Structure 1
Amino acid sequence: MSTKSPIRSVISPGRYVQGPGAIARIGEFLAPIGNTPLIVADDIVWGFVGHEVTSSLKAAGLSVTREPFGGLPSAKEINRLVEVITGAKADVVVAVGGGSTIDAVKASGFLAGIRWVTVPTVASTDAPTSALSVIYTDDGAFEEYRFFPRNPDLVLVDSQIIANAPAAFLAAGVGDALATWLEARATAASNSLTMAGGLPTLTGTTLARLSWDVLWDNALPALDAVRDNLVTPAVEKVIEANTLLSGLGFESGGLAAAHAIHNGLTAAPQTHGLAHGQKVNIGSLTQLVLEGAPTSDIRDFIEFTTRVGLPTTLTEIGLTAEDTRELELVANAATVPGETIHAMPFEVRSSDVVSALKSIERFSRRVRDEAGLPAPKPYVAAH
C-alpha cells in the first residue's frame, strides 16, 4: 500500500488565445514553439482556413505542410499520423478542426515525441485544452482515454470562425460544458481523483461552476447571434466557457456519471451520428436522476437544454424506453471498473443506470409539454 499523501493538481495549456481574426496570427504564436510544423486538417476545414494559415505561417518564416485527417481518432489513424510526423521531420503538430482531429493530433504528437497545438474551428467540445484524448474503435465505439504528461502548448480560437459554423456545433459544446459543473461537484463530494491525477482543486471546481453560470446567462443569445454569423460578447463568453472553462473544469475538477453514460451510449450504434455534447446532455440528465436531484432542478435543466437544441429524451438519440437490451449494453459499458461514474458519491449499479435512462423519457415529455416546447422527434442514425 502506498504511503504517499493524496495531492491536488491543476493542469492547463501553455497559452490560450481567443478573438476574431486570431487564425491570421497563428504563425506569430506558433513560431516560438516549433520551426517545422505539420498541420492536420480535413479537406473541408482546410478549404476555409487554408489560405489564412498558409499566409500567416509564411509571414512568420515557417514551412507549410498539411496532412488530411482520416475522420476518427482511432489507434489506426493515430499511428498513421505518427508516421507522417516522422516522415516530415516535424517538431510541432497542429490540429485545425473539431474534437476528433484534435484528439488524434494530441495522441500522435505525444507518440512522436514532439509538441502539439490545437486550433478548434468549432466550440463543440472541451478537447482543445486537455491533456487527454478520447480514442474510438474503427466502428465508432468508445475504446479508452489516453493521458499525456502535458497539455497543448497553444490553443488558438478564432471566434469569427466559430460564429461562421452551424449553431448546432455551439449548442453541442454547451451540452458538453454544462456537464462540467454537475460532474465536478459530484467528484468534490466524493473526494475522488480527477483527470489531472490528483484530488479536486478549488480552482478546478470553481471554474466548472463558472462555466455553468456563464452558459445559463449567455447560451441562448449567443446561439441566436451565431445563426447570423455574428460575434457578440455573449458569443465570446460561450466560446470561452465551452472551450477553456469547461476544459480546465473537467480536467482539474473531475468527471463522474454524465461522461461515463456518454461513453456507454457509444455502445449503441443508433447514437453514432450524434455529437459528443448531445450524448453528454443525456448523461447529465441521467446523472441528475441518479442523484435524486430536486424535481425543480431537473425540470429547469430539461427546459433550458431543450431550448438550446439538445436532446432530453431517448427518442432524440435513436432509442426508446422499451429498448431494454440496448440500454443494458449502455449501462454495462458506463459502469465498467475504472469508468468515471465511480466518482459519484454513492455506488451506481448498471441496473440503476437503466432505470434512470428509462425514466427520463416520460418525464421530459411532460416537462416539455407543460412548458409549451416541441415534442421530441425520432432520431435515425446515418449509415
Structure 2
Amino acid sequence: MRKAFISPTKYVQGEDELLNLGYFVKTFGDSALLIAHPDDVKRVKEKLESTINKFQITLVEGGFHGECSREEVQRLQELAKEKSCSCTIGLGGGKAIDTAKCVAEGEALIIVPTIAATDAPTSHSAVMYTPEGEFDEYAYFNQSPSVVMIDTTVIANAPTRFLVSGMGDALSTYFEARATSRSYSNVNAGLPCGVREGVCGAAKGTNTALVLAKFCYDTLLKDGIQAKVASDCNLVTPALENIIEANILLSGLGFESGGLAAAHAIHNGLTSLEGTHHYYHGEKVAFSTIAQLVLENAEQEELNEVLAFCVSVGLPVCLADIGVDSISYEEALTVAQKACIPEESIHSMPFPITEEAVAAAIMVADQLGRKFKQSKD
C-alpha cells in the first residue's frame, strides 16, 4: 500500500514573529515579492519596516488585486521576474495566500497568515478564480510552502469570528480523516505528481496524519473556549497559541495527509443555498460536520460532544445559524446532489453514498441542532 504525508519545510509561530520575516527572506536572497491586500500591509506596516531595516532586505509590493486568478498570477510572476525577487511572500487571508502559492509554484515560498480562519496556509494546493470571482480550478504544487510564519500577536488582534471559523474548519479534520482511514481512500498528499506529471499515482493516509487529526480535535475541546475569550480581549495566552496551532498546522496536516470526506463535500453543496453566502467557510463546515456524523450514525455521546463544543464557542449547529431559516426536502436534495458529484470527497466515506441519504442527514442534523440549542436556552 502506498502512503503519503506532506508538510511545510518549516512552521514557526510566536508573539511578534513577523519581526523575523527578514531572516527567512535572507535564506533565499535579498528581496521578496510581497503579495498582500493593502489593508493587511497597513495592519503590520511597522513590523515590516522593522524587519526590512534589521535584515537589510527589499520587499516588492505586488499591489494584490483581490482575486487568485490566472491573470493576476501572470502579472505578479512577471513583476517578480522584472524585480529579480528571490522568493515570494503571501501575507493575509486565503486569496492572497493562494495567489502567492500559484506565483511561486511550490518554490521559495513564505506564507504569513494574518488570521487563523482556515487550514489553507500549510497546504500545497490553491483555489483559483476568474477575475469576476467565480471558481476556476484547483491547483496543486510539488511541495508545501517553504516557511509558514504565524505572528500570534497579529492573530490575537484580528476579529474573533475568524478564529472561531477556523475552529469550525478544524473540527471536521479528525472525523474526515477517520472516515478516510476506514475506507482506505486516497488523500491529497499523494496528488501533485499524479495530477501534474502523470507519474507516482495515488496514496493513502498515514497513521501519523490520523494521530495529528485526533490531537487537533482534542485541542479544540480543551482550549477552544479560553482561546475565544483571549481573542475577544486581543490577548495572547497559551490556549490561544494552542488553538492557532490547531486551526492552521494540525488541521492543515490532518486534511492533506489524513483526507477529506463528507463534511467538506456537504459544505460545497450548501453553497448552492443563497442564505449561506454571507457565512465563512469554517462556519459552514461546522454544521456539515454534524451532518456527516448523522450520515455515519455516530454514537449519540460523540454527536452531543460536538454539538456542545459548537454552542460553547459560537459555531453553527443548524441551518438557521448559516442563513437558511427553513429547507424543503427538494432543496436538501439539491444540496446533496452537488455534494455527491463523482469527484467529491464524500465518496471517501466507508460505505456507499446516495443523494437521498445525504439529504436526510442534512435535514436531521438541522433538527438535532435546533433542539440542542433549545435545550440549552
Same fold (TM over 0.5): yes
Determine helix, strand or coil for the equivalent of 1:196. Answer: helix
Q: Which moved more, 1:78-87 or 1:24-33?
A: 78-87
Q: CA deviation at 1:248?
A: 0.9
**Identical columns (%):** 40
Residues 225, 235 of structure 1: 8 Å contact kept? yes
The residue number in structure 2 matching 1:35 is: 30
CA contact (8 A) 1:58 1:64 kept: no
Say whether the 8 Å CA contact 2:35–2:99 is kept in structure 1. Answer: no
Q: Deviations over 1:125-146 (max 9, x none)?
A: 1111111113345565555432
Amino acid at match of 2:54: A
Matched with 1:276 is 281
Please state if 1:157 is matched with 2:150.
yes
- 180-189 vs 65-74, which moves further: 65-74
Paired residue type of 2:152: S
Q: Deviations over 1:229-264 (max 9, x none)?
A: 111111111111111111111111111111112222
Using the alignment, how far apart are the partners of 1:142 and 1:132 within structure 2? 14
Aligned-partner residue type, residue 112 of structure 2: V
Structure 1 match to 2:174: 181
Partner of 2:101 in structure 1? 106
CA distance in 2, matches of 1:141, 1:335: 21
Q: What is the letter of the counterpart of residue 92 of structure 1?
A: C
Counterpart Cα distance in 1 of 2:314 and 2:95: 22
| Total equivalences in the alignment | 365
- What's the RMSD between the two structures over aligned residues? 1.9
Partner residue of 1:264?
269
Question: Contact 2:118–2:170 at 8 Å: present in 1 too?
Answer: yes
Deviations 1:19-78 (A, max 9, x none): 001011110122103432011111211111122113212322211211233333344443
For 1:333, the equivalent position in structure 2 comes to 338
Whole-Å separation in 1 of the counterparts to 2:59 and 2:34: 8
| 1:46 and 2:51 are equivalent in the alignment | no
Q: Of residues 142, 160, 179 in structure 2, which corresponds to 1:167?
A: 160
Could you give the per-residue CA deviations for residues 75-114 of structure 1, whole angstroms, max 9, x where no partner exists? 444344334333433231101101222122112221xx74
The alpha-carbon deviation at position 213 of structure 1 amounts to 0.4
Q: Does the alignment pair 1:117 with 2:110? A: yes
Alignment correspondent of 2:18:
23
Q: Which of 183, 188, 198 is matched with 1:190 structurally?
A: 183
Does the 8 Å contact 1:263/1:333 carry over to 2? yes
> In the aligned structure 2, how far is the partner of 1:137 from the partner of 1:260?
22
* Long gaps (5+) in structure 1: 1-5, 373-383
CA distance in structure 2 between the aligned counterparts of 1:7 and 1:265, rounded to whole angstroms: 33
State the one-letter code of the partner of 1:267.
Answer: S
Take 1:147 and 1:120, find their aligned partners in 2: how far apart are those partners?
A: 19
For the pair 1:354 / 2:349, whether they are aligned, the reply is no
Residue 103 and residue 370 in structure 1: after superposition, are their counterparts in 2 closer, same or farther (change >3 A)?
same
My pick for the range that moved more, 119-128 or 343-352, is: 343-352
- How far did residue 205 of structure 1 move? 0.6
Structure 2 length as normaliser, TM-score? 0.91
Q: Which residue number in structure 2 is paired with residue 11 of structure 1? A: 6
2:368 is the counterpart of 1:363: yes
Once the two structures are overlaid, the 10-residue window that deviates more, 84-93 or 60-69, is 84-93
Shift of 1:185: 0.4
Please say if residues 216 and 251 of structure 2, whose CA atoms lie closer than 8 Å, have aligned partners that are also in contact: yes
Residue type of the partner of 2:205?
Answer: P
Structure 1's 80 and 270: CA in aligned 2 closer, same or farther, altered over 3 A?
farther
The one-letter amino acid of 1:17's match is: V
Aligned partners of 1:268 and 1:329 also within 8 Å: no
Query: Which aligned pairs between 1:225-264 and structure 2 lie closer than 5 A?
Result: 225-264=230-269
Contact 2:118 2:248 in 1 (8 A): yes
The change in CA–CA distance for 1:289 and 1:321 in structure 2 (over 3 A counts) is farther
Q: Which residue of 1 aligns with 2:90?
A: 95
Which of the residues 301, 307, 311 maps onto 2:306?
301
SS of the aligned residue for 1:96 comes to strand
**Equivalent pair of 1:38/1:94 in contact (CA under 8 Å):** yes
Instruction: Please give the alpha-carbon distance, in whole angstroms, between the structure 2 residues aligned to 1:140 and 1:352.
Output: 32
Q: 1:56 & 1:275 partners in 2: Cα distance?
A: 32
Greater mean alpha carbon deviation, residues 322-331 or residues 216-225: 322-331
Cα distance change on mapping 1:7 and 1:130 into 2, 3 Å: same
